[in-house]
Amino acid sequence: MSQPELTLYHSWISSASRKVRFCLAEKGLAYKPLKVSLAKFEHHSDWYKKLNPSGVVPALMVDGVPYVESNFINEFLDDAFPAPPLRPTDAAEIHDMRVWSKYIDDICLPAIQKHNWMMNYHPMARAWTDEQLEERLAAIPTENRRQVWYRMARDPYTDEELQTALNILLDMRDKIEARTKRAAWIVGDAFSLADINAAPYAKRLEELDAGAFDCANFPNAGAWWQAVSTRPGFIAAKIESFVEQGKPDYDPVGG
Ligand SMILES: N[C@@H](CCC(=O)N[C@@H](CS)C(=O)NCC(=O)O)C(=O)O
């Protein structure tokens, strides 16, 4: 069977997009990347909301059919393209991998979002007039994200909130340190989606706190991060500098 046509609507700096790029690279799948500019609100445009009704990136088109939610996209990829396998085979470990991936999405994503958005979107959003803010908010399909954009425009996160968010990511690192004590990877004995789904958050944490994966203090998590961040799949996925990749003209492959 020939490979279906894969098109990834993504943002270079989006952690959820990075998870899917990493999975696609580990699978060795060819795909067309199409950049969705969050700064230009392309993800809130009507055409994009037809692909992802939540108005967030990524969305993976498979022969023209949109797939959403990065955890589920990655599981779909592992179902549709089983080699190399990226999930454990033991039922308890699969459950553990899913709970871990949900934790990453539910807890770590909102934490990193606070830092990312203060850096990238607050300087822009605070200059909006009330009319512009109203217009932006009206295009956002979910209440949760309307609130976040409102905060960027009018009520930016405090230093205390940013520290709490950083602590959440340091706690993720502590969880990785504990989990990688018995084996090299987060779940079971093999590299899996649990590692892929955490990797973009580890990358951002290291940028926010250079010592976060210091091998002297966190030997297991440090070795894990070294192993993950040197994988050819990680490198091919271009999970790189947030500042560089956040520049409006960053577009290394035309998408
Ligand atoms: N649970 C979703 C989260 C997607 C998500 O929040 N994407 C962020 C970037 S990492 C986004 O599109 N943010 C733009 C916005 O909310 O306006 C997934 O894993 O796909």
Rg of the chain (C-alpha set): 18
The answer to whether residues 179 and 235 belong to one domain is: yes
DSSP code per residue over 28-76: T---EEEE--TTTTGGGSHHHHHH-TT--S-EEEETTEEEE-HHHHHHH
Specify the number of domains making up the chain. Answer: 2
CA atoms of 78 and 87, how far apart (whole Å):
7
In this structure, are 107 and 142 located in the same domain?
A: yes
**Rounded distance from Cα 54 to ligand 1 centre (Å):** 8
Residues 68 and 106 in one domain: no
- 98 and 71 within one domain: no
Q: Do 175 and 140 belong to one domain?
A: yes
CB 49 near ligand 1, within 6 Å: no
Q: What is the CATH number of the domain that holds 198?
A: 1.20.1050.10
Q: Do the domain assignments include residue 244? A: no
Residue 42 CA, ligand 1 centroid: distance in Å:
13
Q: How far apart are CA 204 and CA 182, in angstroms?
A: 25
Query: Ligand 1, atom 6: nearest CA belongs to which residue?
Result: 56
Domain CATH code at residue 61: 3.40.30.10
pLDDT in tens, the chain (255 residues): 588 999 999 999 999 999 999 999 999 999 999 999 999 999 999 999 999 999 999 999 999 999 999 999 999 999 999 999 999 999 999 999 999 999 999 999 999 999 999 999 999 999 999 999 999 999 999 999 999 999 999 999 999 999 999 999 999 999 999 999 999 999 999 999 999 999 999 999 999 999 999 999 999 999 999 999 999 999 999 999 999 999 988 988 876
Same structural domain, 106 and 175: yes
Q: Answer yes or no: do 110 and 233 share one domain.
A: yes
Measured between alpha carbons, how far is 72 from 64 in angstroms, rounded to an integer? 17
- Is residue 217 assigned to a domain? yes
Q: What range does the domain containing 178 cover? A: 91-239
Please give the Cα distance from 207 to 127 (Å, whole number): 27
Q: Which atom of ligand 1 is nearest to the CA of 56?
A: 12
Specify the 3-state DSSP secondary structure of 67: strand
pTM listed for this prediction: 0.98
